[in-house]
Structure 1
């Protein structure tokens, strides 16, 4: 009796058999598995037998560029790993136009725009052929309206609307075009829909705006704001979770990062000292804002870098119990669930002075 009592007192949850732990995991939602893996080494091992990476840990879409194919690549600051969706899209030379969760719109050099479901790998639909020119950007408005913008030598805009049958109508090109030299649009930032208007950012802080209700007028340059007040090398336009129009600015040689927001009463750019706990992912064709689940990611701006990559894991993007996740093609038994702030992506925390690390592509 004494031996039995002593044995029962020394056993704890970490001594549960692996098969029992797997049964327990099978009853839990995937989003809880990272927390389960942090309990102890035995529990982490059980989680590693059916590894997956939940999408809610903010994977960042890097690019789809590869020779002769279009590989979908993501980077996760949480895991410090790259995820590459194993199925390639057979679209040589394709370029991302717009990325919204599981849907990806891509443009080919033949002026065709395709809509892909990244979970199923299926071609959802072929959107109307782009008229007259190759757009730099395609912007989606809740998947009910599409706007195409050209901002290289002239500034043009076209729109396409989904009709009651669910099909996209032909592109309608605005008649009025802006001279590119009057605005010098920033070539690396998407136009942003804000309060039902489409905003295009100039390199010096000027804004052009397009009103879909006055389509034929195209883009118009606003009188204000006149500039950011200082020079910068790169700029990325975004809308915050509070519905504010903001810009991430990067000085030459990445010496300093600034964030400004538009004061719409005075129509002036104002410096932002805090992101109010939010995280900004930018530096690519898609800029996104999240409220992170981890304190070390708050008030940070993340930029991708395309050299010295960490481990690449080939995955399927699937939905399980209504949750989106990456599932490796070949199981990995590494410590997948350790929270770490050491990332292979350049990051900058607002309010902490100059950037320490030089960043380049």
Structure 2
């Protein structure tokens, strides 16, 4: 009679085959079954825990790096996006949009594939906004009301040619929008923020009924602060609750104020807390996310580092829709940060009166926040 064998004696090769077919989130439980099963679980870093700061050493000419404020590590991918001279414009999930002279590109951050979008008629867009589903907006904002073009996906999932707004109405109001804050889709409309807190709105559905430009709203007329000039950086974003909000940042990192738009009164109102959420800002993408990591709650992270963190060379691996960084060298061990002491990235705790050390930080150029936990 053959000797009975239990599950713990399954061959290693078979266990690896089973493990490769399981989502990343199940691997810790798999390894906890017994020592033999744990021996086949390889180190990995979940890419979905928090948004990541995607950066490159130069525009479109180097390997991509993902900095994690949770792990305080930089994960470098061996693939290079072949897009010399391109700049990051927009990031939605694993989709990265770049502008390269008169060409718009879309890159898949997991596969590394780069696709050319419909050609632009004029110079590259200053901003690109993508809803992640069917509409992509290109916005010119150098002078005057923002001029907008839109490309919509057809039944085959391909973007149609850019549909440009009409020529400028000579009676349109001229203002200069902020150079560092991306327009935001909110309630189906495209909003652009101006330095004094004013908003311009573009309604794609009504583009054939007016001059095709954004309408600068009469209200709000300002942020409501007497010394608004002390805020040098202002970023517009939509919260995870669907509210239109903005973050205002001083020259040396403080003060930091959060405001949200009261849409019935069309006035900015200050928010004294993020409600346990975390805000990732300072790039053309600003993201607000819920987190279970206690020390990250009610904190704002900026693309500024005290020192360059440990770099781990990795592959991005997709299993059942979960993305993880898998070290390419066997010597790298998984380490979970015990606390936030010694963090490399500069951040600010909302509601805290404590000064923050800003002077020793260096901005991460060519960077943009990405959230690989979304589609």
TM-score by length of structure 1 reads 0.84
**Contact 2:139–2:147 (Cα < 8 Å) also in 1:** yes
Structure 2 matches for 1:161-200, cutoff 5 A? 161-177=152-168, 182-200=174-192
Q: Deviations over 1:48-70 (max 9, x none)?
A: 97221111221413333526614
**Contact 2:100–2:124 (Cα < 8 Å) also in 1:** no
Give the C-alpha shift of residue 86 in structure 1: 1.4
Aligned match for 2:82, one of 86, 90, 101: 90
Give the C-alpha shift of residue 120 in structure 1: 1.6
SS in structure 1 of the partner of residue 215 of structure 2:
strand
- Which range moves more in the overlay, 209-218 or 61-70? 61-70
Give the C-alpha shift of residue 258 in structure 1: 0.7
SS in structure 2 of the partner of residue 253 of structure 1:
coil
Larger RCO (CA under 8 A, 6+ residues apart): 2
Q: Which residue does 1:156 correspond to in 2?
A: 147
SS in structure 1 of the partner of residue 25 of structure 2:
helix
**Contact 1:128–1:171 (Cα < 8 Å) also in 2:** yes
Give the C-alpha shift of residue 227 in structure 1: 1.2
Alignment of 1:278 onto 2:270: no
Give the number of equivalent residue pairs: 338
TM-score by length of structure 2 reads 0.81
Q: Deviations over 1:119-157 (max 9, x none)?
A: 12223x321111212211111123301100111234311
Q: For residues 48 and 299 of structure 1, what CA distance do their matches in structure 2 show?
A: 38
Aligned match for 2:24, one of 22, 27, 30: 30
- Which range moves more in the overlay, 314-323 or 170-179? 170-179
Structure 2 matches for 1:342-353, cutoff 5 A? 342=341, 343-353=343-353
SS in structure 2 of the partner of residue 241 of structure 1:
coil
Give the C-alpha shift of residue 245 in structure 1: 0.4
**Contact 2:60–2:87 (Cα < 8 Å) also in 1:** no
Q: For residues 245 and 62 of structure 1, what CA distance do their matches in structure 2 show?
A: 24
Q: For residues 209 and 59 of structure 1, what CA distance do their matches in structure 2 show?
A: 28
Q: For residues 166 and 23 of structure 1, what CA distance do their matches in structure 2 show?
A: 39
Unpaired stretches in structure 2, ≥5 consecutive residues: 1-7, 364-375
Q: For residues 161 and 327 of structure 1, what CA distance do their matches in structure 2 show?
A: 35
Counterparts in 2 of 1:131 and 1:36: CA distance versus 1, 3 Å: same
Structure 2 matches for 1:61-100, cutoff 5 A? 61-66=53-58, 69-100=61-92
Structure 2 matches for 1:239-318, cutoff 5 A? 239-305=238-304, 308-318=307-317
Alignment of 1:102 onto 2:94: yes
**Contact 1:247–1:260 (Cα < 8 Å) also in 2:** yes
**Contact 2:104–2:120 (Cα < 8 Å) also in 1:** yes
Counterparts in 2 of 1:186 and 1:354: CA distance versus 1, 3 Å: farther
**Contact 1:65–1:95 (Cα < 8 Å) also in 2:** no
Q: Deviations over 1:196-239 (max 9, x none)?
A: 00001112211111000122421111111111122311011110
**Contact 2:43–2:334 (Cα < 8 Å) also in 1:** no
Q: Which residue does 2:106 correspond to in 1?
A: 115
Q: For residues 222 and 318 of structure 1, what CA distance do their matches in structure 2 show?
A: 46
Give the C-alpha shift of residue 90 in structure 1: 1.2
**Contact 1:176–1:219 (Cα < 8 Å) also in 2:** no
Give the C-alpha shift of residue 176 in structure 1: 4.5
Q: Which residue does 1:132 correspond to in 2?
A: 122
Give the C-alpha shift of residue 293 in structure 1: 2.3
